Every structure is written in C-alpha cells, then in structure tokens.
Structure 1
Amino acid sequence: MLDFDAAQARLAARAQAPAEHETVTLDALLGRVLAHDLVANLDLPPADNSAMDGYALRAADAAVAGATLPVQQRCFAGQTPDPLRPGQAIRLFTGSLIPAGADTVVMQENCQEGDAGVTFASAVQPGRHIRRQGEDMRHGHVIVRRGTRLRPGHIAVLAAQGYAQAPVFRHLRVGILTTGDELVAPGQTLPAAAIYNSNAPMLASLCQGLHTAPAVLRHARDDAQAIEQAITELSGTCDLVLSVGGASVGEKDLVKPAIESLGGTLDLWRVRMKPGKPVALADLNDRPIVCLPGNPVSAFVVFALLVSPLIRGLQGCGQVLPPVRRGILRTDRPLGGDRDDFVRIQAAAQDDGLPVLTPHVQQSSGALSSLAWADGLARIPAGTTLQSGAEVGWYGLADWLG
C-alpha cells in the first residue's frame, strides 16, 4: 500500500492545466479559474477622495479649537469641486473628490454648521480621512493572478477596473461510472437485495461544488464488456473519469481488469488510509482515471482528500492543496490503527486556542449519515493511538470541497 501523503502528491502531480481558455462575461465568472494575469487599468481610487461625510479645508486655517470657516461650496460624490479658497471649507460627502488646496477632512460629527459657517470642536490635524489616489490599486500592477479561482471579491475588483469579461480555462468535464448489479437509481422501485445508487448523485454534486461542467453519468452492470464500453466512452469524451467500485479483489471487481485490457496503465493501487484503501489511479487515452471504493463513505473521503486536488490542478488552479488545520480531539475512546484514519468530526470554535474536534459516534464506513453531519475529517496518523486532548490535523470540508 502507498502512504497517504505520497498518494495525494502523486494524484496532484498528474494534473496539467488545460491548454485552451475562453473569454467569459462577469456574470458567468464565479468559480472559474483565471487563465492569464490581469493588471489594473487605472489607479483606485482614481483621485484623492473623502472617506467621510464632512468638510475639506486647510488644517492651518483651523489649528485651534472653536475656529469657524465660511462654507464655500457643497460637493457631492460624482461632482468636481472648485479649488479651495484660503480660510474657507467645502462640504463633502463620502466619495467626494478632495478639492485642490485642501489637506484634510473633518468628519461632520466633530463640527457644527451654522449661519456663520462651520465651527470645528477641536484643533484640526492635516491628512485626516482622505483616501489617496492609487492607495488600493496602482495602474499596471497585477490585481488577479493566473490560476485564481474567481470568487465574488475578485469579480468586484475586475468590475471596479472596468473589466466586462476575463479569460478563464475551459470547464473541466468529469465522467462518473458506477458499477454493480445491486444498484438501482433513486426514484425507482427497489427490488429485494438491491440498494439505491447514492454514489452517482453524491459524486456529481461534489464535482459541481468544485465548479466543473455537469458530470457525465454512466452505470454498468457487473459485466466486463459493459464496463469496458462505458470506460471507452467516458475516457474518450471527458477530461477525468471517476469509477466507483469494482477495483478491489473480488470476483466481480472488473474495473481494474477492464482498464488494463483497454491498454490503460496503472499508476497506483491501494492507499494506506481508512476509509478508502481500495483506490487506484490509471491512465487511458492520456486521461486520468481514478477508481474509487464502492462504499459511499469511502468514496466521499477519497474524493475530498485525493481527487479534489487533482481536479483543481486539471482546472488550472495555482493552489491545489487547501490548508490542513489544527484542532484538539475530544473523544471518549482511543483512536488509531495501522492506517491513517480520517475520522468524521464536527469542529467547534473556542474563544481562545484551537477548535475542539468531536468525532461522530459511528465511524464505520457504512455510516452514511455521518457525511451529512460532519464538517471535517481529523487525521489520526498510522501507528498511533490518540486520546482525548491530543492535537491533530484536520481537513475542513468547506476548504477541500469548495
């Protein structure tokens, strides 16, 4: 069996960014991966402006408390103020341009306007409450880098710089193959000894959460020819193929032999992790195929920790491995074994210190309900036994699946 870290690194290294990209409008950029660096088209702010509702003046004209200055002009955001005359003030609002000659802004709460002008409660200091030209972004500087998955904040930056569209890598197309005579699609009548196929919709939604194109779903019965046909189709039309089940050592584990019979090469098989040991990485038609365990809990964990970095790399993301956080284990029994054990947990933030990680009461690979409950996976290293209070690494599902 391959160590978990080595397996994770090998899958991540298999990824290559797409050669092609497309230009997409702002309203369709969310979740896409930027194909080229983008630079600022202008300084932001484009000119000095007021950070407050208040009055612009020369600080020297109100250097003592109680000074009163006549109000020369009222200037709203979007209007151009006249140059400030000595000994006067200009009423401004948040975002108003700073008039030539002014060196400070006094917020309206610290002054009082009357018939004689505006009176300042305290001595005025220069340089207050002014947003300087270019202090946020400078013309020509890179504002979003290639390989960035675009979030709402990035889109706001692009819009503020006048970008109506941006170049992004094309959508990744993922094929999902489930196998097994016992599987029935949800919504159909369930015969005796059959179970509903939860893997297909689960994996499709996991891919959707990573902003791939809609997944291509296929199901094959436990028949070598049917499995070969499905693998041939998916590997010919998709960038990545995920197969579920059929990659272990049982009599009906036909996926691995099917890949090999089609000329595929196996890069790794079986990983020292729990759940998820029977996982394989293969290559067919220059496309990666990841064979996931048939158990839905195991498939979920393997997808989160091994497949999601591969997907991010194939999408062109510059950062494929999200952070591994630290937390304090709270458990009523020792945890550990001969494989890296990824325990389904909920993380509770503390006022000070690391979050507390509480394992689900059922850690068997058959406890499907634990996936809806958990918000993370705590790693218990192979060969260790950990008690309550131990500090461990944990993988936030929001980090790894978003």
Structure 2
Amino acid sequence: MTELISFNEAQQRFIQTFESAGAPVRVPLGDAIGRVLATPIQATFDQPPANQSAMDGYAIRYADAAPGVALPIQQRCYAGDEPFPLEPGCATRIFTGSMIPSGADTVVIQEDARETGECVMFETPVRPGTHIRRRGEELRMGETLVNAGTRLQAAHIGLIASQGIATLDVHPMLKVGILTTGDELAPIGGSRGATQIYNSNGPMLAALVAGLGASVTRVVHAKDNEGALTQLLSELHDACDLILTTGGASVGERDLVRPALTSLGVSFVVSGVSMKPGKPISLARYGTTPVVLLPGNPGAVFTTFALLATPLIRRLQWRAECLPPVTRLPIDFDARPDEARERFLRVRLDTSSGQGSVLRVAAEQGAGNLLTLADASGLSQLARGQSIARHATVPYYDFAQWLV
C-alpha cells in the first residue's frame, strides 16, 4: 500500500473525484419524499393569498372600538367563506383562517369579547392591527421555496403542496451495489461453522445506504477467491452507479479485492488513510464508477462509511451540501497523543447533566464491536499528535446528520 494520506485530504478526494450523472426525472409529489430536487421550486402565489385572521374573534375597524360599545355583528364568516365588506360601526364574526373583510383593520380575540344578542362588546382596550396574517407575510409569488440539491423531507413536501404543485423534477435514484468478502463470514439465517461469524456488514451497509435515500441494487458475497471477486465486481459495475466492498482492502496474503480490481483495470484515487479505525479504506475508479473499499471489521466499516462514503454518495446524488456540519463539544476523556493516525471514538451525546452537552466515550472501541456502536450517537475526532484533556472540546460528527 502506498503512503497514507490525511483524513481531510481523503474526504476531499471522495467528494471531488467523481461527477454526478443521469438526467432528472419527473415524479408525483407523493413519490418525492427522500429524493433530491433537480429544479428549484418557486412560489406560485402569495402566502397567505389574502389577509387572514390568526385567531377566532371579531374583525372590526379600530376606530369603532371602545370599551362598553356594542357593535352589531353583520356576518359570521368561516374559513373558506367570502366576507362582505365591513360596514362602519359593525363587526364580523370570524375564525382562524377566515379572510379579513375589506374595511377591517383589527381582530379582537373571542376571549376579550362578549356577545349580547346580535352585538358584541369588548372587555379590554383594543390594540390596532392585531391578530391579522397579512397577504404575502410568509412568502411572495416567485420566491424560491426549495433549492435544487435539497433532499426532500416531509416539511418540504407540505410546503410544495401548499402551492398546489403536483409534480417535481428530481435526480434519478443512485444505484448502489454491495460486495462483502471473506471465508469467515456465514450468511444470515444459515448455519455457522465453528470458525465463522455471521455476515453483519451486508445488512448494515444496506440499511445505511437506504437511510441516505439511495437504492440498494444488489448485495452479494464472495469467498476469498480472486476469480469470484473479479466476476462479481464486473457484474456490479454493469448494474450500479457505486460499488461498496468490505474486507480484503489491505495488502495481506488473503486481501484479494485490490488485486481483483487491478486486473479489471481500475485506478486508485485513495489507497489508505491515516485514521483509526479504518486505515485500509480506499477509493478506486472502475471506468466511470467509483468503488469504495471499506475495511472488514463492522465498527471500522460503519465509521469509514459515515465519514468518507456518505459525502461521496451525496455528491453522486447531486446534493447541494456534501459535508454535514461538524460541531465542537467537551469530551469526558483523557487521551494520549497518537503520533501516527487521527482517532475517531464512538461517543454518546449526554445533555442530562444540567451543565451543558458532553460527549461520553464508549468503554469499548474495538473495530469489531457492534454493541457500543449501536449505543453511540456519533463520533468524536482526536487529532494526530495531540493530547486531549478531559472536558476539552473536540469535533463531533453526529450520526443524526451524517447518516441521512
């Protein structure tokens, strides 16, 4: 393996090396959740489209309001009704969402009013202009509602629906193939030999890919056989936009993924990163298809996927933002410097102490351990060559942002 590159340089290569591809497709709004918007959405009309009441109450002219003065109620106007113009010295009974009648400039909430017969009186002094949502207060026709490159969530769908837009242009779903390797892995649900463990990498990676809004096209497994690896890699190349492999990424005697790819004529963009866990992670170009060579241990697979593969996936999905934010938070840990590699520790964000947020470090950090990984909320980054004192602030990669 060639000289390891820094984590930051590796992250940039994962983002910058490959271009997104594929023409946008038009889908019904109901099918757009989780897709990446190809064309920005503009407002088709003002919102609200007219002055509306923000509360149940009475629309009046402020000049007519005075404590103890009875105003005749000329109309009861429900949301969706067309109000009559307000006559001087009168009131209109309205409800939340009702259109404000022309001539009215104030809404008095029902809690401050008292109806007597067909009239209303106000119990407290009235303030002018209250409880009215003005036309265009939320947005104006032509304003951009959602930018291209946004992965659409439920709130985006509701906002777009509020403008009466029924179809959207989105980018095609990214097709991802997953290849796990190793004689030591037994299939889930099958029998397991005495020297084997079950293949957790395949289902875990499939779930991670789906969580990012990409399509898992195939999940296959190969034993430690270069011919079988070459065949499966060729098949995945023909069917997928991105290939993820686990295991066999280093330079050991049974690490055969790299030789198999080399025989297929790939070029390597990244060949190892000075990080722990995950040093063997690599990135290759197979024609125009990226191939990410993840480590074999599940904890290292999860870490490197979160930090390096997800930015690449966002890039290939045409997302506007490939790198989610990284915050700095105090950590409950004393760490000696690691002169060789940057370290990424599994941590849980704790907000229960009453003294602000703190990162609690999992006791077990082994690359093969899944138990502490399942309990972690993210990863903390410890810089190479630096001692970390307890309560020092460190970069925090929140899974809630990095795995979506």
Q: Which amino acid aligns with 2:40?
A: D
Which of 31, 34, 39 matches 2:34?
A: 31
Q: How far 1:137 moved relative to its partner?
A: 1.8
Q: How far 1:23 moved relative to its partner?
A: 1.2
Q: Which amino acid aligns with 1:154?
A: H
Q: 1:234 & 1:55 partners in 2: Cα distance?
A: 67
Which of 4, 8, 20 matches 2:7?
A: 4
- On the 8 A contact 1:204/1:215 being kept in 2, the answer is no
Q: How far 1:365 moved relative to its partner?
A: 1.2
SS at structure 2 position matched to 1:2: coil
SS at structure 1 position matched to 2:274: strand
Q: Note closer, same or farther for the CA distance 1:188–1:351 as it changes in structure 2 (3 Å cut).
A: closer
Matches within 5 A, 1:1-400: 1-62=4-65, 64-115=66-117, 117-331=119-333, 333-338=334-339, 339-349=341-351, 354-400=356-402
Q: How far 1:353 moved relative to its partner?
A: 6.5
- On the 8 A contact 2:115/2:121 being kept in 1, the answer is yes
SS at structure 1 position matched to 2:283: strand
- Indicate the larger mover: 354-363 or 98-107: 354-363
Q: Which amino acid aligns with 1:186?
A: I
Deviations 1:235-257 (A, max 9, x none): 12100001111110110111111
- Indicate the larger mover: 346-355 or 185-194: 346-355
Q: Note closer, same or farther for the CA distance 1:282–1:354 as it changes in structure 2 (3 Å cut).
A: farther
Q: How far 1:328 moved relative to its partner?
A: 1.0
- On the 8 A contact 2:298/2:369 being kept in 1, the answer is no
Q: How far 1:14 moved relative to its partner?
A: 2.6
Q: Note closer, same or farther for the CA distance 1:254–1:131 as it changes in structure 2 (3 Å cut).
A: same
Q: Which amino acid aligns with 1:26?
A: L
- On the 8 A contact 1:335/1:380 being kept in 2, the answer is no
What TM-score, normalized to structure 2? 0.96
Deviations 1:316-339 (A, max 9, x none): 1101111112211113x4354131
Q: Note closer, same or farther for the CA distance 1:356–1:215 as it changes in structure 2 (3 Å cut).
A: farther
- On the 8 A contact 2:217/2:240 being kept in 1, the answer is no
Q: 2:269 & 2:238 partners in 1: Cα distance?
A: 19
Deviations 1:216-268 (A, max 9, x none): 11111111111111111111210000111111011011111111111100111
Q: 2:34 & 2:356 partners in 1: Cα distance?
A: 30
- On the 8 A contact 2:50/2:134 being kept in 1, the answer is yes
Q: 1:148 & 1:110 partners in 2: Cα distance?
A: 44
SS at structure 2 position matched to 1:80: coil
Q: 2:330 & 2:42 partners in 1: Cα distance?
A: 43
Gaps in structure 2 of 5+ consecutive residues: none
| Aligned length, in residue pairs | 400
Q: Which amino acid aligns with 1:289?
A: V
Q: How far 1:99 moved relative to its partner?
A: 0.2
Q: 2:96 & 2:6 partners in 1: Cα distance?
A: 57
Q: How far 1:288 moved relative to its partner?
A: 0.5
Q: Which amino acid aligns with 1:181?
A: D
Q: Which amino acid aligns with 1:260?
A: T
Deviations 1:154-194 (A, max 9, x none): 00011000011211101000011111111111111111211
Q: How far 1:214 moved relative to its partner?
A: 2.6
Gaps in structure 1 of 5+ consecutive residues: none
What stretches of structure 1 move > 3 A for 4+ residues in a row?
350-354
- On the 8 A contact 1:186/1:197 being kept in 2, the answer is yes
What TM-score, normalized to structure 1? 0.97
Q: 1:271 & 1:330 partners in 2: Cα distance?
A: 26
Q: How far 1:28 moved relative to its partner?
A: 1.5
Deviations 1:104-147 (A, max 9, x none): 10111111111261111223222111111111121112111100
* Residue identity (%): 47
- On the 8 A contact 2:285/2:291 being kept in 1, the answer is yes
Q: How far 1:102 moved relative to its partner?
A: 0.2
SS at structure 2 position matched to 1:67: coil
Q: 1:23 & 1:125 partners in 2: Cα distance?
A: 49
SS at structure 2 position matched to 1:218: strand
Q: Which amino acid aligns with 2:335?
A: P
- On the 8 A contact 2:14/2:312 being kept in 1, the answer is yes
Q: Which amino acid aligns with 1:146?
A: A
Q: CA RMSD in A?
A: 1.3
